[in-house]
Amino acid sequence: MIAEKEINDLAELLGVSKDEALKLALKEGIRELRLRKAIELYVTGKKSMKQAARIAGISLAEWFEIAREKGLLVQISPEEIEEELKALSD
């Protein structure tokens, strides 16, 4: 469980109420967990790059940036490229 002091410290640091600090922490935590799981599934080959981006709740462009930052091998199939190009033109 998160200690009351941690919540108070975070709220003070961010300049928001305790409730707002909790909401922000939860939102950020969920985002991080989704991203971590998406990376795991992508690296193990269980999900494609596009599927992993969807799991993480981010765009393919954002996925490319994160993959670059984390040193992940980017593998995209010709079909995925075609799908992305088609989606951009719609």
pLDDT digits (tens, 9 = 90+) for 35-56: 999 999 999 999 988 899 999 9
The domain total for the chain is: 1
Sorted by sequence, the CB contacts under 8 Å of residue 20 that are 6+ apart come out as 11, 14
Average pLDDT for the chain: 89
Q: What is the pLDDT of residue 1?
A: 64
Any idea which residue has 């109420």 for tokens?
A: 17
Q: What residues of the chain score a pLDDT lower than 50?
A: none
Q: What is the pLDDT of residue 60?
A: 86
Structural domain containing residue 49: 4-89
Q: What is the pLDDT of residue 46?
A: 95
